[in-house]
Amino acid sequence: MKKTLIAIVLALALVLIPVGSAFAAPSADVLITAKPGKLSISVAPASYTFNDVTIDSTPSTAENFFIVTNKCGVESDNTIMVVNATWTGGATAWTHADDGNAGDDIVALLANQDGTWGTGDVIVTTGGADLALDIVKKMDWKFGLKMLAPSDISDFTDKTNTVRITAAESTAPGPG
C-alpha cells in the first residue's frame, strides 16, 4: 500500500509540477495561404418584374439596366442563360423558347449588352449564349432584357424563371 501511495504521489508531482521551458519558444509561426480567385462577378439588381405582360407584347428594360460588377483578375467571356426550361407558377407553366420564337404559353427572352434593341440582341437559351466577350479585367459592364410574350396566355398567374450570367476566362488574346 505504501508503495502504491508513493507511486501516485510521484505521478501527480510529474503532472502538476512544471518540468521547465524546454519545449517553449518565444514565438510561433502560422502559415497563411491566399488562393486568388480569377473570376468574380455580381449583378444588380438581383431581380426584375415585367409588369402587365400581355399577349404578343415585348416588354423590356433599358439596354443598360443591369450592372455587372466585374472583379475578374483576367479577361473574361460572359454567357447568359435561363436556368429552367419552364417558367413556373399557376396551373399552366410557360415553356421557354430557346429559338427566340414565342407561342401559345411559350415565352422567349432577348439580352442586349449596353447597345440598342434590335442591334446585337442575343437569344437567351437554357444552354447559354455569348453575351459579353473579351471583357477587360475589373471593367464593369451592363445589359438589358426583353421578353417576347406568349401569343396566347392560358393562366394569368405570375410566372418565374432565373437568368444566370457566367464568367469564364477568355480564350482570345486581349489587353486584359
Reported as a single tens digit per residue, the pLDDT across 8-57 is 655 555 555 555 555 678 988 888 787 777 899 999 999 999 998 999 99
pLDDT band at 3, cuts 50/70/90?
A: low
**Looking at residue 85, what DSSP letter applies?**
S
Tell me the Ramachandran region of residue 56: left when phi exceeds 0, alpha when psi lies from -120 to 50, beta otherwise.
Answer: left
- Per the prediction, the chain carries an average pLDDT of 88
Residues facing 42 on adjacent strands = 69
Residue 66's nearest CA partner among 40, 45, 42, 41 is 45
Higher per-residue pLDDT: 29 or 156:
156
**CATH for 47-169, options being 1.10.10, 3.40.50, 3.40.630, 2.60.40:** 2.60.40
Residues facing 69 on adjacent strands = 42
Identify the residue whose cell numbers are 507511486. Answer: 7
Higher per-residue pLDDT: 106 or 11:
106
